[in-house]
Structure 1
């Protein structure tokens, strides 16, 4: 692929790691953010120490707080902003963008209130004449490992296969490999909902439970994710792929995961407000739990794990007692959907 100019919107850990991948592939990368000190650090010190203490970025990776500058002559835009900021940033892009580009996003969550997926938000806010079909870049990936060029395999999903293949070629290299997928609903719901299960897996660890419990919540959590996703129009097989079980494993078992760490703190007795303050970064699983719980109720989908985590996060339920109540539910067949 010839050199592409890519605007990466969001200088967080994943936005920074993906910027390095794109730069390694010979593309021109400009990162957009609104925090002056952070943008200045990227440009002058070639680092982003809030997320990566010892990583030095290539000098060719530039950053700006000027959205118009970031979007000028760009071939593609990659949204990597928190879920709650996606609609706001998309509106800002729509006001500035003056030519057609490829649109991708690499965030994971459901919007509060509307319960919409991120690609739906981008479709609503960005005029069709200025964009491709949305491409979702998602899968089992910790920024802390990608930034050091550890082997990572994820998915590029779009309604249009050509757009998915564009992202595949744009990102793929010797350590970062993408597979195309046309099940946007499946890939997005898998990426969003696994954060809920990761909070639960962390809580089990914080309470002192072992590997048996970890395997249980990941397996039954996957069944729960699949039930909701299929009700929304997803393909069941997507959930046994990279963006499904793959992402659930990596997020539900690792200290790199903010969602797992948040759950671990919850299991150790910390309150949500304290956990969020100590984390200093967005914990997507917290807001997604509320959105998914409400969505499940509206669709009539049985989501006992999500309901339990919701009660712990939003109704001050005691985690150990909540887990015991989950274990005491009426027995049922394993394959009942």
Structure 2
């Protein structure tokens, strides 16, 4: 197993290196096209910018927008690129088995379906984690609100109601299985709107991830030394400005390892969404089982695919964390 783990680690490093190289190339092109309007000068490859400059802030916003565009376009990008390659590769693996082998038959017949299942699993995990993270930002800010003596009655009331709502939401979602949530949301929602099972699955993953990441970010905020906030206030910043410009950016950076961990967990947990007919990896295995009336081979295949996915993505996230100098901080786990 150590040898296999090292293989996944090397693959992860290679993919992470590719991502980092593409990211730096993107910044280089951005700095020397749109950036020229703001900076009026050529910027070298992988050269840091002055954080006080207007272009630095504009570039940051553009990076976020492009990243979100790529994430929400994942399904189309995967299907027309790597998805076809993975499907053909799985089918080719099947040809290496003996003609009488049930493993070979399943891999050849369901190779492209397994690839589509991988795409669905990654789509739900990636989009669900992204949406959950965005909502968790707001909920974590609400749950960490402090009451100050100068707050009026209305402000104190809104803070109390907001914190009660977030804590109740987190408790309910974290305290009930995702499978049960999926059944309630999909079939319950069916009585009001005839929605697609994939959309319902995305809602389930997003709601679940929001609850867990709210706790992660809350822990990240509370891990920041109180002196940071006091220092911001002493400089004349308001409580809100101190939180948004000093405390929260550090909290997010400290929480990145746990956020990546939540993404990996979602890859595995989406398997329960087959109960609402989502055709992910687990569902493809069920279809193969129904045809061959043998549960062992298809689920062994899927288990191996899940292992490769989680191990490779974990290696990628660790490599990216080192490149981006993200500290490893122990925060509340999503498990």
TM-score, normalised on structure 2?
Answer: 0.30
Of the two, which has the highest radius of gyration?
Answer: 2
- Structure 1 or 2: more strand by fraction: 1
**Which structure is richer in relative contact order (CA contacts within 8 A, separation 6 or more)?**
2
- Structure 1 or 2: more helix by fraction: 2
